[in-house]
Structure 1
Amino acid sequence: MKNKYVVLSTLMIGTFMGSLDSSIVNVSLPIIKEDFNCRMDQIQWVVTGYMLSFSLFMPLTSWLKDRIGFFNLYVGGLVVFTIASLFCGIAQNLETLIIGRIIQAIGGGSLNPTAMAIMSTVFPKEERGKAIGWWGLGSVFGPTIGPTLGGFLTREFGWHSIFLINLPISVIAIGMCFYSLGFLKQVPKKYEKFDFKGFVSLTIFLSLIQFVLVRVESVGLLSYETVILLIVLIASLAYFIHTELRTTAPLLNIRLFRNKKFTSCILVTVVRSAALFGGLFLLPFLLQGLLHFNELESGLIMFPGALFMGILMPISGTMADKFGSRKLTIAGLIIVAFSMYLFSELGAQSNLTWVLVAVCLRGVGLGLLISPLSSATINSVKFEEVTMASSINSLLLQVGGSLGIAILTFIHQNVYNNKIDLDFSGAEAEQFALHRGFTISCILVTLALIPASRIPSKNLVTAKKEIVEI
């Protein structure tokens, strides 16, 4: 095995590519929406289609890891992601772009849980918080430069270039994998039965959640179509739970939710993900639509928040190893909730200073939150459960995010249409819609404080060290 920090660097590059792509896409959404002349509830599929596909592929990670091995899974994911990026880069209509994004997610869905599982293999438990913090720089450095780079590329070369930028990065990432991850080829493979019934029922459930949230605005909550869809949705979830509890090789080991520490961490992840992904989706429309900044200016405004997040993530990861995750997680949630409140109060006449304050506070809050929460989640389970726990964590993070975007898009579209019907101007209706969306985000993040209070005050390793010292 190569030096474990060389392995960590390799995983950071792959993570950077995926995070760069998502952050570049967000800042370019208003331009793509204008180019394709589509509505907010249509353009959301560029993001939610990716996240939903990402979510559906993630449960396969644990099985594929055993079937084809860590190395083939990680490198294969990078290759698929790269080919799909090229497909997105040459898309000429919204439908083609969405298909490209769905394929892109199939490749990207395996990267994070596989990387976390590899780190759990390479790093001892007392070093994982620090390792996750440094690895998180890959996911943070992308968003740090992504908005600015995306704004520049979109303004100078068109939005297609934001996907083509992945190609040179992917060459480096794949090359580094062959250099430093070759030792993973020696890990024995296991040929276990695939939980096909569980996969199909989970696919139906997750797809219907997204579809219902999109359709309910058109057909109404109490329509026959909505009621039938909800019945099928509930039935698919019940069948999935029934199947997973009975099979010997479950797609997702839902028995992990009997672990109260793990469940508390997952609840925080889902709620904060719904609020933050939803808020991040709305942010470019606030900056470019309501406040009239161009693409490059929007990217530059988002830069300091991502910078704060990047600086704080490894620091908070190390602090979590020493002092535990609960207080850091709660502090991060409070700061993020306040930033969402500030965003909700911004209007067409708002001063740039207040915009930057909200952006920076969001970055500080996330910097304090992400690494401690990830560390607490992984350390709450046994070593042999780490890969499954990582898959569940990554899956529900994406599901929460896609639901958050769908819910906030529904709220935004509904408020906007109501205000237009009341003869408000387009700008006034947009301000009301964005205010409501960010307010809901603030409430969701605040609600996450409830499960956050149940996260262990000390990480398992920290507590053991204190006992030994006594």
Structure 2
Amino acid sequence: MATGEPFDGFGAAFLVVFLFSWMAWMLHVNKWPLSSYRMLALAVAAIAGLLLLVRAERKCSYPIIDGGILKNRFFILSVICAVILFSGLFSIMFLMPFYLMRPAGLSAQAAGYLMMVPFVFLFFLSPLSGWLSDRIGSRVLCFAGMGMLTTALITFTDLFPSTGLLPEIWRLCLAGAGVAIFCRLTMHRPWDRSVRKKGESRRARSPRHGISAWLSVWRSQAGFSAMPSAASATAPMRLCIRRC
């Protein structure tokens, strides 16, 4: 808007219809039958919104999302990796408070202190990650960050309340370190150099945190709904993470 470009009102409206219908459908897929009129209406609205969005963006001179950006493989891969990584982080942030306060028996204050551990690593390791990327490149660090978070998620499946606080702490440290290494590298945006309109790449990339948070909550909700009530008090992290 600052450059005088007109606002794509129709594209924005169709995008809202598509995202709202799609997310509502995914959130209620475990509650409502797929053949119910509500699920069918949401599915039809999502498909219609997506088709109208594509049609409107092709005809608009200044679209919200330029289809040419999707031809940049570095941009696509970086966004997909960022969504996967933040989805894993938000899943941990969503599930761990329930685990710490119920099976582990910690107070809300103690659980809150433990949940600060990943963000402490984000604060201190992000500058170091940027410094290393300037010297050794970002490819190794990207794989290292994703690998560390993946390892943390796998180790969370064997977490039990009887193991004490140390296992929770080092798993949270590992997850925070992995996100810190990867997250700092995504801020450099090397793919923007090959994108003609940088504003479009930022608009296309900006919803990734929201989508990641929604995916993590949806997977966690699915895990809780599928978790047997008899076993929920003994090994909630194992069952819920594996269901997710």
TM-score in terms of structure 1 length: 0.48
In the alignment, is residue 435 of structure 1 matched against residue 238 of structure 2? yes
- Partners of 2:240 and 2:231 in 1: CA distance: 18
In the alignment, is residue 263 of structure 1 matched against residue 76 of structure 2? yes
RMSD: 2.1
Quote how far apart the aligned CAs of 1:210 are.
Answer: 2.1
2:217 is matched with which residue?
Answer: 405
- Write the letter of the residue equivalent to 1:356: I
In the alignment, is residue 309 of structure 1 matched against residue 112 of structure 2? no
Contact 1:213-1:407 within 8 A present in 2 as well: no
Contact 2:84-2:212 within 8 A present in 1 as well: yes
1:131 is matched with which residue?
Answer: none
Contact 1:305-1:362 within 8 A present in 2 as well: yes
Quote how far apart the aligned CAs of 1:370 are.
Answer: 0.5
Quote how far apart the aligned CAs of 1:241 are.
Answer: 2.0
Contact 2:78-2:186 within 8 A present in 1 as well: yes
Quote how far apart the aligned CAs of 1:440 are.
Answer: 5.7
Match for residue 337 of structure 1 among 150, 166, 190: 150
Match for residue 388 of structure 1 among 200, 204, 228: 200
Quote how far apart the aligned CAs of 1:268 are.
Answer: 0.6
Contact 2:85-2:179 within 8 A present in 1 as well: no
Gaps of 5+ in 1: 1-62, 67-189, 442-470
- Partners of 1:354 and 1:206 in 2: CA distance: 38
- Write the letter of the residue equivalent to 2:233: A
Quote how far apart the aligned CAs of 1:214 are.
Answer: 2.4
- Partners of 1:346 and 1:322 in 2: CA distance: 37
Distance 1:344 1:426, change over 3 A: closer
Contact 1:340-1:439 within 8 A present in 2 as well: no
Distance 1:314 1:254, change over 3 A: farther
- Partners of 2:92 and 2:48 in 1: CA distance: 31
Distance 1:346 1:300, change over 3 A: same
- Partners of 1:257 and 1:289 in 2: CA distance: 44
Distance 1:280 1:227, change over 3 A: same
Contact 1:279-1:437 within 8 A present in 2 as well: no
- Partners of 2:217 and 2:143 in 1: CA distance: 23
- Partners of 2:99 and 2:140 in 1: CA distance: 32
Dislocated runs of 4+, deviation >4 Å: none
Contact 1:198-1:251 within 8 A present in 2 as well: yes
Quote how far apart the aligned CAs of 1:216 are.
Answer: 1.9
Correspondences of 1:221-260 after superposition (within 5 Å): 221-260=34-73
Of 241-250 and 329-338, the range deviating more from structure 2: 241-250
Quote how far apart the aligned CAs of 1:358 are.
Answer: 0.5
Secondary structure of the structure 1 residue equivalent to 2:65 = coil
Contact 1:313-1:371 within 8 A present in 2 as well: yes
Quote how far apart the aligned CAs of 1:384 are.
Answer: 5.6
Contact 1:309-1:364 within 8 A present in 2 as well: yes
- Write the letter of the residue equivalent to 1:439: R
Q: How many residues align?
A: 243
Contact 2:223-2:241 within 8 A present in 1 as well: no
Quote how far apart the aligned CAs of 1:203 are.
Answer: 0.5
- Partners of 1:270 and 1:311 in 2: CA distance: 22
- Write the letter of the residue equivalent to 1:438: I
Contact 1:201-1:240 within 8 A present in 2 as well: yes
Contact 2:21-2:46 within 8 A present in 1 as well: yes
Quote how far apart the aligned CAs of 1:426 are.
Answer: 5.4
Quote how far apart the aligned CAs of 1:352 are.
Answer: 1.2
Secondary structure of the structure 2 residue equivalent to 1:290 = coil
Secondary structure of the structure 2 residue equivalent to 1:232 = helix
Structure with greater proportional helix content: 1
Match for residue 4 of structure 2 among 179, 191, 209: 191
In the alignment, is residue 327 of structure 1 matched against residue 152 of structure 2? no
Match for residue 218 of structure 1 among 31, 35, 40: 31
Gaps of 5+ in 2: none
In the alignment, is residue 201 of structure 1 matched against residue 14 of structure 2? yes
Quote how far apart the aligned CAs of 1:286 are.
Answer: 1.3
Distance 1:328 1:439, change over 3 A: farther
Quote how far apart the aligned CAs of 1:283 are.
Answer: 1.5
Quote how far apart the aligned CAs of 1:204 are.
Answer: 1.0
- Partners of 1:440 and 1:250 in 2: CA distance: 39
